[in-house]
Amino acid sequence: MILLPLNLLPVGCTAKVKYINVSGILRRRLMDLGVIPETEIKVVRRSLLGDPTLYEVRGAMIALRHEDASKILVKTTNS
Strands 14-20 and 4-5: unpaired
* pLDDT at residue 59, as a whole number: 94
Q: Kind and range of the H or E element at 54?
A: strand 53-57
* pLDDT at residue 1, as a whole number: 75
* pLDDT at residue 50, as a whole number: 84
pLDDT tens per residue across span 6-48: 999 999 999 999 999 999 999 999 999 999 999 999 999 999 9
